[in-house]
Amino acid sequence: MSGISNLIQKEGNKVKVQIKPISANEAWKGRRIKTDKYKAYEKTLMWILPTTLKIPLPPFEIHYTFGFSSLSSDWDNPIKQTTDILSKKYKFNDKLIKRAIIDVEKVEKGQEFFEFEITHLEK
């Protein structure tokens, strides 16, 4: 269990997950069949993501930071599968996300991560 706690850092509604984000190419076989790698990634995240995260009222704004070790990683590659897993875990409809902020950081190999924060979008 102590190894798991090292994978998650939570500060308020901001969560950092010390796991390499899965790319769209790694996630899907053909058009919409999940790969075994995606299924394992989803299962891991569903288990380790904090259950105490308070999801605000919609509409939502989501802020992602992705830490990539490869300079060839596309900034948008992990967004859909990460969002799908978060919406499944926290039981919200991702169509209610009306704004997204995406940041990317270069990290050393083995230090890949993603961080997210879901807030209410003030109009």
User: What pLDDT is recorded for position 28?
Assistant: 78
Percent over 70 (pLDDT), the chain: 98
User: What pLDDT is recorded for position 75?
Assistant: 93
For residue 44, the 8-state DSSP code is H
Is pLDDT of 31 > 80?
no
Residue keyed to tokens 């596309």: 74
User: What pLDDT is recorded for position 32?
Assistant: 77
pTM above 0.85, yes or no: no
| Strand segments (E) across the chain | 8-11, 14-17, 28-29, 33-34, 60-68, 97-106, 113-120
Is pLDDT of 30 > 80?
no
